[in-house]
Amino acid sequence: MEADVDVADQTGAPVLAGTSARASSRTTAFETTAAEADRRVKVIIAGNLGRASGAVPVSAARP
């Protein structure tokens, strides 16, 4: 497939001129997951450094 594109005329509004900078929707679905991931990372780092952390170990966090 071949196409000829003429870009000589560049008048008119830019493509991004019609978009909005703010988000049209927001979710909190992953906030708990992110907090749990942060907690796990802290436990792993503390364990690798050989010291206890204030977080509950992952094995004790789940029944």
Asked if 43 and 57 count as a contact pair (C-beta separation under 8 A), the reply is yes
For residue 4, being part of any structural domain is answered with no
For residue 19, being part of any structural domain is answered with no
Asked if 53 and 42 count as a contact pair (C-beta separation under 8 A), the reply is yes
For residue 23, being part of any structural domain is answered with no
For residue 17, being part of any structural domain is answered with no
For residue 8, being part of any structural domain is answered with no
Residue-level pLDDT at 58 = 55
Where do the H-state alpha helices sit in 1-63?
A: 31-49, 58-61
Structural domain that includes position 34: 28-63
Whether the model pTM is above 0.85: no
In whole angstroms, what is the distance from residue 25 CA to residue 31 CA?
15
User: In the predicted model, is pLDDT for residue 40 greater than 90?
Assistant: yes
**Residues 6+ away with beta carbon under 8 Å from 43:** 53, 55, 56, 57, 58
Q: How many domains does the chain have?
A: 1
For residue 21, being part of any structural domain is answered with no
For residue 14, being part of any structural domain is answered with no
For residue 9, being part of any structural domain is answered with no
